[in-house]
Structures are given as C-alpha cells and as structure tokens.
Amino acid sequence: MAKKIQRAAPAAAAKTEIRARGAAPSSGGPGASSGERKRYRGRVASQTITDFTTQLATLTDAGIPIVKALTILEGQTRPGPFKTILGDLVEDVSAGTPLSESLGKHERSFDRLYCSMVRAGEAGGVLGRILTRLAAFREKSAGVRAKVTQALIYPAVVSLVAIGVVTTMIIVVVPKFEEIFREFGGELPKVTQVLLDTSRFAADYWYLVLGLPIVVALTHLMLMRRSYGYRFAVHKLLLRVPWVGVVLSKSLISAFARTFGTLIEAGVPHLDALSIVRDSTGNEVLAKGVDEIRTTVREGEGIARPMGESGVFDDLVVNMVDVGEATGELDKMLIKVADAYDVQVDRRTQAMLTILEPMLIIIMAAIVGFIVVALFMPLLDIMSKLGEA
C-alpha cells in the first residue's frame, strides 16, 4: 500500500502543477481505447501544442513514464482533434513505437523541428529537458510573431477605414452631386470631371473593380505555391523594399538563429539541423543561402565562412558564429544573435509604425480633401450664378 502511495505522489504533484499552468479537465474519461474513442479531424492550434509540450515536460521531469504522462494529458483534454491525436500517441508508444516516430505521423501538428528535437531527447535520455527547451522556443517564437501582428493592427484598420470612406464617397455621394451639376449645366472644372468619370467607371464596371483585385490575389497565391522562380523573385523584392526589407531580413535571421541554435543545443547534428531550418525559413532567398551552407558543411568545412559568402547574413551574425565555433558554444551564440535581433526587429517595427500611422492619416485626408474640393468647386460657381440671377 505504501509503495502505491509513493508511486502516485509524483503523478499527483505533476497533475497539480499542470492545473496551475491552466490545463482544463475534460468530461471525457482517460485512456479510452481506439474503438471507443470518437475521432475528430481538424487543425490543432499552435498554442495547444505549446501547452502540451510544457505539460509533458513537467510530467516526465517528475519521473512519470511517457505512456502514463500521455494518458494523463489525454484524460485532461476536452474531446476534439487534439484528444484524438493524444489517443493515437498513447496507442503507439504503448506498443513500443518511439514518441518521435509517433509524432511524425501527425505532421500537420508536429513539424520536423519538433520531431527531431524529441528524437534527440530520446536518444540522449533527456526528453524532459528537451521538451522544456522546445516549449520555451515555441513560446518565444510565438511572442515575436504576436508583437509584429499586434503592431500592424492599427495601420490595417486605418487603411480599411480609408478604403471604405473613399469607396462610399465615390459610389454614393459623387453620383448625387453629378445629378445637381447636370441639372444646372455649364462646363465643369477638370478635377471634377476626372472625379465624375472615375465614379461612373466604378458604377458601370463594378465587376472589374471588385473582381480584378480578387483575380490578381488568387493568381499571386497560386504562383507563390507552384512557381519557385516567382516565389524567389517576390521574396527577393520584399527584402529590398525600404524599411520593410530591413525588418523582414532581421526577423528571418532571428528565426534562423533561434531555430538552428535550439536544434544544436538539443544535440541534433549540424547537417540535419540545417536541413530542418531550411524547410522552416519561409523565404526562398534565405533557404538558398542555407542550402549553400549545407553544401559547404557537408564537405567538412565550418559554418561561418559559407554564411559570409552567401550574402544573406550580416557581418555581426557571421562573426558571432565564427566565435561560437571557435569556443565550442555555437548554440549559445546563435541564441544571443536571435535575442539581439528580436530587440532590433521590435525597435525598428515601432519606429516604422510611428512614421506610417500619420502618413496613412495624411494620405486619407488628402484623398477625401481632393473629393470635397472637386465637388464644391462647381457648387460655388453655381451658387455665384444663382446670386447674380
């Protein structure tokens, strides 16, 4: 009896810690068999995977066997796609399949980076520590993305409001003024005529005005997915756009350094780590640079020289990688690079938005002002003629 209580203690403590971290208990019972378990399909949120990683690390660090840990997490998960995945993991691992291999069967939820780090943790017998690092990596990456997204919300809202106001004025307001001008006759100023022609075109060819941007957007998305050349050209162009290109470049380098450093720290071989990083860059220009680095490293050379020759990485990054290789602390240097560049990205994004926000308001005011002036110039002329009459 005493032994059972001792074995139950770590599990109880781990469950308490998981609940403290915010895991929600489920109405479904734990450990349901595959025949009894209702299967759900759909995407799993990135934050759900991060929470799972943190909780699994807590349980394994408490000395709980991996099958038991997965069963506990399955029991605490509400019915849905992720509960189905956890059930599959419990089944596979119970049958002797390595966790990394079982995770690989659900590649929409667990990418190559995730599976490779888990595989390294299994091989080194330090799965709990690797899962903790992986959770921290995911939290940090998500935090950076959230900051950029949050910073872009205000300009996006202002742009949408501007488009809505201008569209309403051209489609609704301008035609009413055109009726007044036609009733009184007379020659209209050039700016007014241009505005009326624009309004008439939008009313007569509304399907083009609405359809053309949609067709262009869909064509762009299709080419981005299917054409490497087009995708490479777009990515290269984005990196050359003033202001935006610098922020994007530093953001990509930060993601590269953090991912590469985390993989090396987990014990993943350099070539495998570079392959994983290459697939997760999201930019073909950077991916090409990583390919060149991999080719050189495969031949037995270091990483710093091909990084410098690729033309993608700043001198600061190359020098820090060189120092990291010389001191045997490449993973730490890469994480330092990522942290430094995250700060720069945040600072530059804020500076860019500080300039962009008033510029958007000025542009909106200029367009609305042009419409108002174009409409009121002939009105003033009409009022003056009525006054003379």
- Residue 35: its pLDDT value, please? 45
Q: Which CATH number does 2-110 carry?
A: 1.20.81
- Residue 50: its pLDDT value, please? 92
The H-assigned helical ranges of the chain are: 2-21, 46-61, 66-75, 81-94, 99-104, 112-124, 127-168, 174-184, 190-204, 206-226, 228-240, 244-265, 270-280, 284-298, 304-310, 315-327, 330-388
Q: What is the separation of C-alpha 309 from the centre of its chain, rounded to a whole number of angstroms?
A: 28
- Residue 212: its pLDDT value, please? 93
CB 162 within 8 A of CB 363: yes
Q: What is the separation of C-alpha 96 from the centre of its chain, rounded to a whole number of angstroms?
A: 35
- Residue 337: its pLDDT value, please? 93
Low-confidence stretches of the chain (pLDDT < 50) are: 1-12, 15, 18-36
Identical fold for domains 2-110 and 140-389, yes or no, is yes
- 140-389 has CATH 1.20.81.30 classification: yes
- Residue 322: its pLDDT value, please? 93
| Measured CA distances, 60 to 91, 106, 134, 244 (Å) | 18, 21, 14, 43
Those residues with Cβ within 8 angstroms of residue 163's Cβ, 6 or more apart along the chain or in another chain: none
Token match 């120092």: residue? Answer: 323
How is the chain split into domains, by residue range?
Answer: 2-110, 140-389
- Residue 387: its pLDDT value, please? 65
